[in-house]
Structure 1
Amino acid sequence: MLELSGIDKSFGTRRVLDGVSFAVGDGRMTGFVGGNGAGKTTTMRIILGVLAADGGTVTIDGAPIGPDDRRRFGYMPEERGLYPKMKVLEQIVYFARLHGWKTAAATRNATDLLERLGLGERLDDTVESLSLGNQQRAQIAAALVHRPEVLVLDEPFSGLDPIAVENVQQVLTDYAAGGAPVLFSSHQLDIVERLCDDLVIIAGGRIRAAGGRDALREQHGSTRYEVLLAGDAGWLREQPGIDVIDFDGGWAVFEADDPEARRAALAAAVAAGEVVSFGREQTTLAEIFKEVVR
């Protein structure tokens, strides 16, 4: 487990991180979300040792992270750091060699990874000849080629088309399934919501919410419920404890803070005829984000 506890960081008089604490579990995808300037990149750089924290600790499996531990990390910065004149395969093999891989093994692994990321036909092209989206895929390959045990990725989906997003999602999911803690930031909340097991929301340098995706939905979820009946749903407006927000024929959306009122409404719906569907409105990550950073 990768764990941050009480991380503080200031640049001059400006405090950019204030008691940042959260954990990234083994084999779990953790989405790190926040607005511009919220502190995501600074946090990631502290994890990697690029920046030093003013206070707090970063540990892996309960022990402070040292240089040997960080060699097991895969890191993708938001800024691209590839050599533009090098060929794509040559570049990724080079990064594997920096981590101690022999040339033959590095070439096999780099080729396989680039093919999985959809760059199999661009191995002999220079990095600068690639589109920005394909350069992003190559950057991801550079972070993964040495088969790291921990992944920290800053905006890995930036600039990717839908097909590339699917390719990258599958590769990252496979790494997590192999037991690696995966932390990535993204402004694309729909991708985070679809991909992650856990979420960390940061604003103004402070963690505003952290935990499992479903637990956060339950904690910050909508109090609205949706029902679809075979018959007319207009009678719900007369149901005690029910505030109907909208309805059309057999479909209705209502609010009910009291569990007894909800159960009574469901029982009345069953008694009135066939219930096609009944359930709580799904709260999106975007809605949770707006609520906790407000």
Structure 2
Amino acid sequence: MTTLEVHDLTRTFGDRRAVDAVSFQAPGGMLTGFVGSNGAGKTTTMRMMMGVLSITSGEVRFGGAPVTRADRRTFGYMPEERGLYPKQPAIDQLVYLARLRGIPAAAARTEAMEHLDRLGLAERAKDHVEKLSLGNQQRVQITAALMGRPRALILDEPFSGLDPAAVDGMVDLLREHTARGVPVLFSSHQLDLVERLCERLVILRTGEVVADGTPAELQEAGTVRHRLVLDSDAGWVRGVPGVHAVDVDGPTALVELADDATTQRLLATALERGQVRELSPVRPSLAQIYREVTA
């Protein structure tokens, strides 16, 4: 499986560093999520990876070698700014874009219709793009990126504007590409969707990578919290040294503990006061990890 790699990628605009020595990998056969707030540098990074924007310094590698123009011609790319012509039929544009990548017209039309059918848009294939809803325009743009069995996929907000059924259809298509070893890098602001889909995650903050790894690795590195459930009110936990009470709701408390000694002290105190129904670690969600590393 071929890996898509970014090494110390940097882009400056005058005195401002929009992307600052960014390094990460998008392994073949995996969905890699690329997240960060607006202005974090996601789109700029993707544009440099595709050669749309020049690189100030650093390198993009594909299969262990510097990426070439020929490599990029085999990548499927979905830009932030959608590049469809509003007054042309959707199917004609897809065929045209596929032919630019060397796909014969007949094969391109067949493949485009198959993708549109999978995404529930086959009956609208001959409609002008301007007559389609924003969600349906998104389906057409996605289809353009998936044409021709791409060797890598770089998708900027591919799920934006899609309804749940379209998201599921899109995910199925992407899984088919990862099943044949294709690296898929996509950005999204939908953290619940990223958490559900991704085998790897890269988080940017102000142009720098602040977290990179599998969901399990990031959760292990995140702040460990514990849920304490008693048979009486748990408000007293706020006064225990080394305990930070994140939330207290009647007999249930969500706490952060300074160390193992604090855990034992909390448990002993709770047992002195009554029955302890639960004291267990709480796995941080992706949203919690995101808030921690981007704060």
TM class, shorter-chain normalised?
A: 0.7 to 0.9
Aligned to 2:93: 91
Task: Tell me by how many angstroms 1:119 deviates.
Answer: 0.9
1:32 and 2:58 matched: no
Query: 1:98-247 counterparts in 2 under 5 A?
Result: 98-221=100-223, 223-226=224-227, 245-246=247-248
TM-score (norm 2): 0.86
Contact 2:235 2:250 in 1 (8 A): no
Q: State yes or no: 1:258 paired with 2:259.
A: yes
Q: 1:65-95: CA deviations, max 9, x gaps?
A: 1111111100000111012222222222222
Distance 2:210 2:117 in 1: 39
> What is the CA–CA distance in structure 2 between the aligned matches of 1:202 and 1:253, rounded to whole Å?
28
- Once the two structures are superposed, residues 148-207 of structure 1 have per-residue CA deviations (whole angstroms, 9 ceiling, x without a partner) of 010001111122222222222222222222211111111222211221111111122111
- Distance, in Å, in 1 between the alignment partners of 2:90 and 2:198 is 29
Q: Could you tell me how far apart the structure 1 residues matched to 2:62 and 2:99 are?
A: 25
For the 8 Å contact 2:78–2:158, the answer to whether it is kept is yes
Distance 1:205 1:113, change over 3 A: same
Amino acid at match of 2:159: F
CA distance 1:278–1:115, shift in 2 (3 Å): farther
RMSD: 2.8
Shift of 1:236: 9.7
* Alpha carbons of structure 1 residues 104 and 263: separation in structure 2 relative to 1, 3 Å: farther
CA pair 259-76 structure 1, distance change in 2 beyond 3 A: same
User: How far apart are 1:13 and its partner, in Å?
Assistant: 2.0
The answer for unaligned runs of 5 or more in structure 1 is: none
Moved more, 110-119 or 240-249: 240-249
CA distance in 1, matches of 2:128, 2:280: 53
CA distance in 2, matches of 1:72, 1:191: 27
**Letter matched to residue 4 of structure 1:** V
Are the equivalent residues in 1 in contact too, given 2:191–2:286 (CA < 8 A)? yes
Kept in 1: contact 2:29–2:184 (CA 8 A): yes
Letter in structure 2 aligned against 1:282: R
Task: Determine the C-alpha separation between the residues in 2 that align with 1:204 and 1:108.
Answer: 43
* Residue ranges of structure 2 left out of the alignment (5+ in a row): none
Give the distance between the partners of 1:265 and 1:174, measured in 2 at CA: 49
Alpha-carbon distance change, 178 to 273 in structure 1, aligned in 2, over 3 angstroms: farther
Cα 1:266–1:80 shift into 2, 3 Å: same
TM-score between the two structures when normalised by the length of structure 1: 0.86
Q: What is the CA–CA distance in structure 2 between the aligned matches of 1:62 and 1:31, rounded to whole Å?
A: 21
Aligned residue number for residue 284 of structure 2: 283
